[in-house]
Amino acid sequence: MGVRDAVALQQGADEEMLDKIDRYEASDLPERQKAALRLADVYLAAPGGMTAALEEDLQSHYSGPQIAEIVLKLMQYSSDKIMVSLGLDLEEVDVQVLERRPPTAP
């Protein structure tokens, strides 16, 4: 299992959801989610391929700030794209939870 799947599973996704995302155009996901996934595909594969139709689709489901937030998340999540393309993505992930302690009073 790769890093992305491990994080998704940790955050509440399941195998069925991951399968739907892999095949989102043919899935029963809401059109709103499909629009966001179309944006992700364009952003990750060919940013210059943004079309007026996709822009209209996004604007029918999201506000300007929401679209900006999606793009910022894509930027954050794709920051390791070079490592993945070089085959240096981790095959297995050991998720560790750090204990959060309340701040101490001065």
CB atoms within 10 A of CB 100: 5
pLDDT at 47: 82
**DSSP code at position 87:** T
pLDDT at 62: 97
pLDDT at 91: 61
pLDDT at 97: 61
Tens-level pLDDT at each residue, the chain (106 residues) = 566 677 777 888 888 888 898 899 999 999 999 999 999 999 988 888 899 999 999 999 999 999 999 999 988 877 776 666 676 666 655 556 666 666 666 6
